[in-house]
Amino acid sequence: MAKHTITLIPGDGIGPEVAAAVVRIIEAAGVEVAWETHYAGAQALEKFGDTLPAELLASIKRNKVALKGPITTPVGKGFTSVNVGLRKTLDLYANLRPVRALPNVPSRYPELDLVVVRENTEDLYSGIEHVVVPGVVESIKIITEKASTRIARYALEYARREGRKKVTAIHKANIMKLSDGLFLECFYKVAKDFPEIEADDKIVDNACMQLVMRPEQFDIMLLENLYGDIVSDLCAGLIGGLGLVPGANIGELGAVFEAVHGSAPDIAGQGVANPTALLQSGLLMLRHLGERDAAQKIEQAMLKVFTEGKVRTRDIGGTAKTSEFAEAIIAAF
């Protein structure tokens, strides 16, 4: 019997192409996986009448881990995002985005290596909005002690597990004294249990300026939902864009690892997509599963291929196919 059973959602567009490459690399590294493949989004709607079929959710709840390719969200057809659906159904409260520059990829900060941890369930994204009187709308920001405490604990435990030195909470508690004040208070309370990790904080506007001028001062950044959404893309931009960075949504009921880019309909079916983002998400997944040696082996091989710069996909100036890039990584083990 395989050591791990993982739910695989290849997705659509370039999803199946990059997913196939990542599955190949993980298996070639010697990790024994039984993959349970499921459809989601438009494909699932056509086959099963539901964008998030019950079997898919049951599979993730059973396996507690999924690797997911991008899924097209049709515009204007009233089908809600599968990503939001997964996040809500499985209570995936922590969004993790490590941001690290890759060798030979144009980047403003080639040495950058930081991690963004974003609270995924509340804040202004609770979607509680109403019209007070015509011309006046109220949108409510919810911050709870429970969610703030668990995300702070997640960030600090991640720091401990990954040997990181510092967690910086980002907030606007000078203005939103109660809501962001509570978020900050919960962070410092939890930080007392992690004396070896430096805990500090910064106001979000200053943090953004510092990120552009001296991003190396950050190690792990901890943010509420809205600030986290914005700052995580800002950080991806510092190292060359969304195409290369991994992401994960993690909760008690399961963890979904995914690339943050979309289904790239403009290049789908051509075999030229870059699988790096999903591969890096796969590395996060392997570490989450305790397969640290295999993750290390794949990461070293991937960095070697980037450093040599001979096998590059089209998006970063090369001519290699998705499968050739995967082959090069396997050959570099």
Catalytic positions are: 125, 172, 205, 229
| DSSP string computed for 114-138 | EEEEEE-S-BGGG--EEEEETTEEE
Site membership for ligand NAI, residue 191 (CB under 6 A)? no
Residues paired with 142 in a beta bridge: 123
CA nearest to 98, candidates 235, 227, 205, 285: 235
> 77 vs 130, which CB is nearer to ligand NAI?
77
> 290 vs 317, which CB is nearer to ligand NAI?
317
Find the binder of ligand NAI among 72, 120, 249, 281 (CB under 6 A): 72
Site membership for ligand NAI, residue 258 (CB under 6 A)? yes
Site membership for ligand NAI, residue 185 (CB under 6 A)? no
> 94 vs 207, which CB is nearer to ligand NAI?
94
Alpha-helical (H) ranges within 90-239 are 145-161, 179-191, 204-213, 225-238
Total interface residues for ligand NAI by CB under 6 A: 20
Find the binder of ligand NAI among 150, 261, 288, 297 (CB under 6 A): 261
| Contact indicator for 298, 29 with CB cutoff of 8 Å | yes
Site membership for ligand NAI, residue 273 (CB under 6 A)? yes
Of 108-116, 204-212, 216-224, 257-265, the segment contacting ligand NAI by CB under 6 A is 257-265
Q: How far is the CB of 33 from ligand NAI (least distance, A)?
A: 22
Site membership for ligand NAI, residue 73 (CB under 6 A)? yes
> At 265, is the secondary structure helix, strand, or coil?
coil
Structure tokens at 236: 């991806």
Structure tokens at 214: 């001296």
What is the enclosing helix (H) or strand (E) of 166?
strand 166-171
Find the binder of ligand NAI among 10, 243, 246, 254 (CB under 6 A): 243
Site membership for ligand NAI, residue 266 (CB under 6 A)? yes
Measured CA distances, 286 to 32, 122, 247, 258 (Å): 11, 28, 13, 13
Site membership for ligand NAI, residue 138 (CB under 6 A)? no
| Contact indicator for 281, 67 with CB cutoff of 8 Å | yes
Given its phi and psi angles, is residue 269 left (phi above 0), alpha (psi -120 to 50 degrees) or beta?
A: left
The residue of the chain with the least Cβ separation from ligand NAI equals: 262
Q: What residues from 196 to 215 belong to the interface with ligand NAI (CB under 6 A)?
A: none
Find the binder of ligand NAI among 7, 43, 51, 263 (CB under 6 A): 263
CA 252 to chain CA centroid, nearest Å: 16
Gap between the Cα atoms of 264 and 282, Å rounded: 19
Find the binder of ligand NAI among 148, 274, 280, 281 (CB under 6 A): 274
Q: Tell me, residue by residue from 32 to 71, as one string, x for binding to ligand NAI by CB under 6 A and - for no binding.
A: --------------------------------------xx
Binding site for ligand NAI (CB under 6 A): 14, 18, 70-73, 83, 243, 258, 261-267, 273-274, 277, 315
